[in-house]
Amino acid sequence: MSTDSLNPDDELSADEIRPRGGRAADIRNALQDEIESGKLPPGATLDERALAARFEVSRTPVREALQQLAARDLVRVAPRQGVTVARLSIGKVRAMLEFIAELESLAAKLAARRVDDDLARRLDETLARCQEAAVNGGVAEYTLANSLFHEAIYAGSRNPYIAEQIRQARRMIQRYRLKDFQNKTLINQSLQEHLKVARAIQSGDETQAALAMLQHVPAGTTGFSEFLAKVPMSFFEADNGDSA
């Protein structure tokens, strides 16, 4: 190539000079966020050509991104059927909720054991935010307030390993919990349960804190049935021997 054809004022765009692997990672991250948030629901079809057009790339980085998502069990790649957002079986969802409930309960127990003035104040602050969202906000506002309340307990447990395990499991299951706060009745129920958990922690009652949190997560028979009624059956995969 002649050097005369190069113009120092012509600058390549960031996308043009970004390594292919970097583009694949960007696409993977964007799709992962949409899957975990429920914007792309379980069973949704992912078309390589459409995704390539959307992200303004060739199909190669899209294919790489989908392979990475498949390795994380977020999508399913089936011969002659294409790529779809992974669906979990009812048995697996229940098992994950049981796992989350037990870890959340342990976090609450440890927070009660280690409660101090700072944690007590933070719990009051997050409860007040939940109250405000319940009265004057909507689903999005209460969802955020709920997250802040639980994060306060994780911090209060002073066990970052447990906290990270809960966060990872919650991200995996979140797309099945989009209707947890779909109306004021459910929001108010959550708020009352938060109050019981917080007061038990603030009083240093480990047993009651653990029990109140265990009752807060829909893993028991009644709670799980109510949870299941809010989720479209099309979101679930056949159990194939999973325990229910």
pLDDT in tens, 37-54: 899 999 999 999 999 999
Q: What pLDDT shows up at residue 110?
A: 98
Same domain, 102 and 218: yes
Domain boundary, last residue among 86, 103, 135: 86
Check pLDDT > 90 for residue 130: yes
Q: Is the pLDDT of residue 11 over 80?
A: no
For residue 8, is pLDDT > 80? no
Structure tokens at 194: 């938060």
> What average pLDDT does the segment 102-127 reach?
98
Give whole-number Cα distances, 37 to 33, 171, 175, in Å: 6, 8, 6
Q: What is the average per-residue pLDDT within 102-117?
A: 98
Is there a single domain that holds both residue 45 and residue 156? Answer: no
Same-domain check for residues 117 and 40: no
Read off the pLDDT of each residue in 203-228 and give the average, rounded to a whole number. 89
For residue 148, being part of any structural domain is answered with: yes
Range of the domain at 144: 89-237
- Which of 38, 60, 86 corresponds to the end of one domain? 86
Burial of 205 (0-12, 13-18, 19+ CB in 10 A): middle
Which one has a higher pLDDT value, 222 or 31?
A: 31
For the chain, the domain total comes to: 2
Confidence band for 19, pLDDT divided at 50, 70 and 90: low
**Amino acid making up residue 59:** R
Contact indicator for 138, 108 with CB cutoff of 8 Å: no
> Which of 49, 68, 86 lies at the terminal end of a domain, its last residue?
86
Categorize the per-residue pLDDT at 240 as very low, low, confident or very high, splitting at 50, 70 and 90: low
Does the pLDDT at position 59 exceed 80? yes
Task: Note whether residue 5 is domain-resident.
Answer: no
User: Does the pLDDT at position 127 exceed 70?
Assistant: yes
> Looking at residue 188, which CATH number applies to its domain?
1.20.120.530
> According to the model, what pLDDT value does residue 36 have?
92
Identify whether 14 is part of a domain: no
pLDDT tens for each residue of 64-91: 999 999 999 999 998 877 999 999 999 9
Instruction: Give residue 238's pLDDT.
Output: 81
pLDDT of residue 220: 66
- Residue carrying structure tokens 């997560």: 217
Give mean pLDDT, residues 145-168: 97
pLDDT of residue 9: 42
**In this predicted structure, what is the pLDDT of residue 12?**
35
One domain, residues 214 and 114 = yes
Output the pLDDT for position 20. 54
In this structure, the answer to whether residues 77 and 142 fall within a common structural domain is: no
What percent of the chain shows pLDDT beyond 90? Answer: 75
% of the chain beyond a pLDDT of 70: 88
